[in-house]
């Protein structure tokens, strides 16, 4: 958009400076064009002079002076340029430039903001991957919405995205789950039972057990534990899948952990480590020499009981990601995985793969606040709040919006009262109300017999108010914002952008009439509002939210 046009202009000036001997090409591609932090410093600013001066060992303000000379030769974009501070060059655009953003918005519509910068790179986003031991809790919900929105951003920028759920259906936790269901089943039948000391105590296991009693009676009282494990696993995962679909999340593929064992992939990893001299036996356990890959100490990968630790299947699973041809692998984990990640990265490197192609995002936990007090959560004791319960209370849109409002590495406090408030204090309501207001403006115009004119028939030079200028400038930033949010895997930027755009629009609406006695001004403002409505709708859709016509 406008920033990219300006960057192209600065690039041309840089190249002309090289041709004229002002500087060498050593600084090529190292400078940027950004929005200044403070008002009055231009619409954009470039650090080109500072970068070049650093490479050439010369005075940055002298380089800035040369750049200003080159930039002053352009009369299409710039109204003026200024040197500031140690050598920044502030760029002030002609007012008419900003209104040019409405043409691509009008032409591209729902496609505005999309790009192909990903060049069809094959990307896997692994997220949720919750153990099928109970309903999705609030923490799982943050993981799900974060992963889904990152996948949406990457798809919107031209990446070939696969959403995958790693199905943890092996290991001790599943045996405990089976034993817990078996105990509940026998309890309902009035039979002797022994509930596991660390078993899963949630009411959901009673529900599964009741369904078994109603379906098959007491015929399974002597059944093997594995049958109860499968029953619990299947029922719980069906519930998980239904919850995910409810909040708009589907997966392209599922990877079952048990296949790593059945297909010999776990043993194959251990064998390769042994071939490379990277394992040893100690205390009847098998240790991986992770210290050879920068870790503080070696790690056990097979316990003295013969059972693999969680690191080993994770390493084997990531090797399969590489084997399947993914060029970029993104893992969304809770903060409780922080100790595991370095070990898995070391294992990937030990197997000869480039672990820089794996990006791990660790999100912090969620604190639910009800009436100003924290809601306690525990999966085993089942005193947790499920995603379904949260959706019942606040709705899917508020759930997604609030979960994306903070950076993943920030603790998130979810205020249940705020999420349901229909006021400007509730950010999701404030943003969606902006779209509803824009729809109302169009309905009002139609009721008054005022048609929204074709863009080519409108004189946009009448858009002179500060709020109009701010709206146009913010609209122009949308494509670059989407690209940056995808590049940095930062969906919270979309939320911040939507809040900013909605805030500017509400300020404009409260100060200025859209439908006026001036037909030319009315036409220009209707076109501006149409552009804002399109971008608000596009941004809301990008993060999986609705753009309501009415509230």
Dump pLDDT digits (tens) for 278-295.
999 999 999 999 999 999
Instruction: Read off the DSSP letter of residue 308.
Output: B
- Output the six-digit token pair for 371: 């009436």
Residue 379: its pLDDT value, please?
A: 46
Whether the predicted pLDDT of 178 surpasses 90: yes
Q: 3-state class of 357 per DSSP? A: helix
Band the pLDDT of 493: cuts 50, 70, 90: very high
Q: What integer is the mean pLDDT of 187-198? A: 90
Half-sphere exposure of 75 (CA within 13 A, CB side): 0
Instruction: Read off the DSSP letter of residue 229.
Output: H
Share of residues in the chain with pLDDT > 70 (%): 99
Which residues partner with 9 through β-bridges? none
Residue 39: its pLDDT value, please?
A: 79
Whether the predicted pLDDT of 152 surpasses 90: yes
Closest residue by Cα to residue 231 from 216, 254, 215, 212: 212
List, in order of start, the domains of the chain with CATH numbers.
Answer: 2-93 (3.30.1360.70), 172-246 (no CATH), 423-542 (1.10.730.10)
Closest residue by Cα to residue 128 from 331, 322, 317: 331
Check: CB of residue 366 under 8 Å from CB of residue 142. Answer: yes
Whether the predicted pLDDT of 381 surpasses 80: no
Residue 358: its pLDDT value, please?
A: 98
Residue 202: its pLDDT value, please?
A: 82
Instruction: Read off the DSSP letter of residue 442.
Output: H
Residue 371: its pLDDT value, please?
A: 84
Helix axes 492-511, 519-542, angle to 10 degrees: 160
For strands 78-84 and 88-93, give the pairing.
antiparallel
Band the pLDDT of 380: cuts 50, 70, 90: very low
Whether the predicted pLDDT of 407 surpasses 80: yes
Residue 93: its pLDDT value, please?
A: 94
The sign one gets for the Cα dihedral 195, 199, 203, 205 is negative
The sign one gets for the Cα dihedral 341, 343, 347, 352 is positive
Average pLDDT, the chain: 94
Helix axes 466-487, 519-542, angle to 10 degrees: 20
Q: What integer is the mean pLDDT of 386-399? A: 94
Q: What is the DSSP string of 478-495?
A: HHHHHHHHHHTT-THHHH
For Cα atoms 335, 339, 342, give the angle at the middle one, nearest 5 degrees: 115
Distances (CA, A) of 4 to 105, 286, 333: 16, 55, 34
Check: CB of residue 61 under 8 Å from CB of residue 49. Answer: yes
Residue 375: its pLDDT value, please?
A: 77
Dump pLDDT digits (tens) for 233-285.
999 999 999 999 999 999 999 999 999 999 999 999 999 999 999 999 999 99
Q: Measure the CA–CA gap between 30 and 315, rounded to whole angstroms.
A: 36
Residue 192: its pLDDT value, please?
A: 87
Band the pLDDT of 66: cuts 50, 70, 90: very high
Q: What integer is the mean pLDDT of 6-10? A: 94
Residue 383: its pLDDT value, please?
A: 60
């Amino acid at each position: 958009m406008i920033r990219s046009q300006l960057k192209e202009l600065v690039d041309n000036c840089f190249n002309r400076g090289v041709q004229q001997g002002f500087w060498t090409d050593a600084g090529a591609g190292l400078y940027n064009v950004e929005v200044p932090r403070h008002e009055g410093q231009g619409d954009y600013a470039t650090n080109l002079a500072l970068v070049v001066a650093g490479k050439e060992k010369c005075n940055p303000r002298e380089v800035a002076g040369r750049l200003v000379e080159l930039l002053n030769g352009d009369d299409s974009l710039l109204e003026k340029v200024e040197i500031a501070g140690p050598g920044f060059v502030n760029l002030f655009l002609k007012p008419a430039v900003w209104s040019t953003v409405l043409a691509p918005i009008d032409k591209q519509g729902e496609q505005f903001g999309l790009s192909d910068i990903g060049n069809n790179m094959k990307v896997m986003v692994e997220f949720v991957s919750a153990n099928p031991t109970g309903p999705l809790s609030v923490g799982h919900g943050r993981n799900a919405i974060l992963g889904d929105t990152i996948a949406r951003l990457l798809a919107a920028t031209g990446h070939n995205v696969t959403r995958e759920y790693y199905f943890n259906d092996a290991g001790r936790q599943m045996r405990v789950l089976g034993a817990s269901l078996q105990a509940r089943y026998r309890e309902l039948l009035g039979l002797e039972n022994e509930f596991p000391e660390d078993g899963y105590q949630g009411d959901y296991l009673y529900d599964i057990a009741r369904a078994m009693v109603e379906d098959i009676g007491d015929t399974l009282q002597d059944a093997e534990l594995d049958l109860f494990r499968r029953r619990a696993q299947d029922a719980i995962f069906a519930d998980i899948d239904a919850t995910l679909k409810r909040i708009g999340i589907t997966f392209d593929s599922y990877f079952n952990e048990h296949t790593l064992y059945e297909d010999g992939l776990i043993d194959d990893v251990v064998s390769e480590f042994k071939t490379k001299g990277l394992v040893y036996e100690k205390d009847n356990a098998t240790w991986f020499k992770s210290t050879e890959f920068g870790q503080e100490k070696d790690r056990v990968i097979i316990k003295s009981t013969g059972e693999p630790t969680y690191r080993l299947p994770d390493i084997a699973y990531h090797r399969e990601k590489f084997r399947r041809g993914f060029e970029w692998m993104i893992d969304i984990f809770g903060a409780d995985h922080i100790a595991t990640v370095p070990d898995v990265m070391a294992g990937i490197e030990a197997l000869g793969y480039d672990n820089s192609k794996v990006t791990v995002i660790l999100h912090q936990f969620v604190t639910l606040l009800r009436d100003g007090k924290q809601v306690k959560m525990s999966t085993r004791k089942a005193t947790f709040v499920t995603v379904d319960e949260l959706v019942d209370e606040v709705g899917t849109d508020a759930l997604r919006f609030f979960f994306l409002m903070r950076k993943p590495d920030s603790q998130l406090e979810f205020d249940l009262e705020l999420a349901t408030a229909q006021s400007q204090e509730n950010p999701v309501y404030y943003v969606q109300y902006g779209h509803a207001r824009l729809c109302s403006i169009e309905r009002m115009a139609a009721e008054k017999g005022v048609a929204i004119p074709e863009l080519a028939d409108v004189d946009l030079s009448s858009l002179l108010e500060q709020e109009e200028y701010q709206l146009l400038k913010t609209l122009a930033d949308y494509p670059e914002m989407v690209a940056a949010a995808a590049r940095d895997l930062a969906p919270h930027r979309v939320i911040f952008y939507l809040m900013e755009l909605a805030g500017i629009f509400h300020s404009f609406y409260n100060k200025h009439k859209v439908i006026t006695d001036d037909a030319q001004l009315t036409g220009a403002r209707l076109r501006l509002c149409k552009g804002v409505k399109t971008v608000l709708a596009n941004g809301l859709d990008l993060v999986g939210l609705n753009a309501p016509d009415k509230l």
